[in-house]
Amino acid sequence: MAERFSFLKNLNPPKKMHVLWVEMDEETLHTVDGAFGMSDGVANVRREYREIQGRKFFKIYVAPGCLAEALEVLDRLKKFVRIGEVIVEHEAD
Protein backbone atom coordinates (compact mmCIF):
# COMPACT_ATOMS: atom_id res chain seq x y z
CA MET A 1 0.00 0.00 0.00
CA ALA A 2 1.39 3.42 -1.00
CA GLU A 3 2.11 5.99 1.66
CA ARG A 4 -0.93 8.24 1.94
CA PHE A 5 0.90 11.60 1.97
CA SER A 6 3.98 10.74 -0.05
CA PHE A 7 3.50 13.83 -2.24
CA LEU A 8 4.46 15.99 0.76
CA LYS A 9 8.07 14.83 0.43
CA ASN A 10 8.31 16.76 -2.86
CA LEU A 11 7.20 20.10 -1.37
CA ASN A 12 9.58 22.76 -0.11
CA PRO A 13 9.39 23.36 3.64
CA PRO A 14 7.80 26.66 4.65
CA LYS A 15 10.02 29.65 5.31
CA LYS A 16 10.69 30.52 8.92
CA MET A 17 8.66 33.25 10.58
CA HIS A 18 9.84 36.12 12.76
CA VAL A 19 9.10 36.37 16.47
CA LEU A 20 8.44 39.79 17.97
CA TRP A 21 8.15 40.64 21.66
CA VAL A 22 6.10 43.81 22.06
CA GLU A 23 5.85 45.79 25.28
CA MET A 24 2.16 46.47 25.98
CA ASP A 25 -0.60 45.82 28.48
CA GLU A 26 -3.58 43.47 28.12
CA GLU A 27 -5.90 46.26 26.96
CA THR A 28 -3.53 47.24 24.16
CA LEU A 29 -3.09 43.58 23.27
CA HIS A 30 -6.75 43.39 22.19
CA THR A 31 -6.35 46.40 19.90
CA VAL A 32 -3.16 45.03 18.35
CA ASP A 33 -4.79 41.62 17.89
CA GLY A 34 -7.76 43.26 16.16
CA ALA A 35 -5.52 45.27 13.85
CA PHE A 36 -3.57 42.20 12.77
CA GLY A 37 -6.79 40.20 12.53
CA MET A 38 -7.92 42.55 9.76
CA SER A 39 -4.68 42.09 7.81
CA ASP A 40 -4.45 38.98 5.70
CA GLY A 41 -2.06 36.61 7.46
CA VAL A 42 0.62 39.16 8.34
CA ALA A 43 0.91 38.28 12.02
CA ASN A 44 -0.54 36.19 14.80
CA VAL A 45 -0.78 37.85 18.21
CA ARG A 46 -0.35 35.48 21.14
CA ARG A 47 -1.38 35.80 24.77
CA GLU A 48 2.01 34.43 25.78
CA TYR A 49 4.17 37.00 27.51
CA ARG A 50 7.43 37.42 29.38
CA GLU A 51 8.45 39.97 31.94
CA ILE A 52 11.66 41.86 31.31
CA GLN A 53 12.77 44.24 34.07
CA GLY A 54 9.19 44.51 35.33
CA ARG A 55 7.76 45.24 31.88
CA LYS A 56 5.35 42.90 30.09
CA PHE A 57 6.19 41.84 26.51
CA PHE A 58 3.67 39.86 24.43
CA LYS A 59 4.65 37.49 21.64
CA ILE A 60 3.72 38.06 18.00
CA TYR A 61 4.52 35.65 15.18
CA VAL A 62 5.09 37.43 11.86
CA ALA A 63 4.77 35.65 8.52
CA PRO A 64 7.85 35.34 6.29
CA GLY A 65 8.37 38.46 4.20
CA CYS A 66 6.00 40.54 6.36
CA LEU A 67 8.34 41.88 9.05
CA ALA A 68 8.50 45.42 7.63
CA GLU A 69 4.72 45.55 7.28
CA ALA A 70 4.16 44.28 10.84
CA LEU A 71 6.59 46.83 12.27
CA GLU A 72 4.84 49.57 10.28
CA VAL A 73 1.45 48.52 11.67
CA LEU A 74 2.81 48.62 15.22
CA ASP A 75 4.36 52.03 14.60
CA ARG A 76 1.02 53.41 13.35
CA LEU A 77 -0.82 51.90 16.33
CA LYS A 78 1.53 53.73 18.73
CA LYS A 79 -0.42 56.90 17.91
CA PHE A 80 -3.56 55.41 19.46
CA VAL A 81 -2.51 52.87 22.12
CA ARG A 82 0.40 52.38 24.51
CA ILE A 83 3.05 50.29 22.77
CA GLY A 84 6.57 50.39 24.12
CA GLU A 85 9.69 48.62 23.00
CA VAL A 86 9.56 46.09 20.15
CA ILE A 87 12.15 43.32 20.15
CA VAL A 88 12.74 41.26 16.99
CA GLU A 89 13.88 38.01 18.57
CA HIS A 90 14.61 35.55 15.77
CA GLU A 91 13.10 33.34 13.16
CA ALA A 92 10.95 30.53 14.55
CA ASP A 93 10.88 27.01 13.18
What is the dihedral angle through the alpha carbons of 75, 77, 82, 85, rounded to the nearest 10 degrees? -20
Q: How many CB atoms lie within 10 A of CB 5?
A: 7
| Cα separation, 26 vs 58, whole angstroms | 9
| Cα separation, 12 vs 33, whole angstroms | 30
What are the residue ranges in the chain where pLDDT is below 70? 1-2, 91-93
Q: What percentage of the chain reaches a pLDDT higher than 70?
A: 95
Q: What is the pLDDT of residue 57?
A: 98
Domain borders along the chain are 21-92
| pTM of model > 0.85 | no
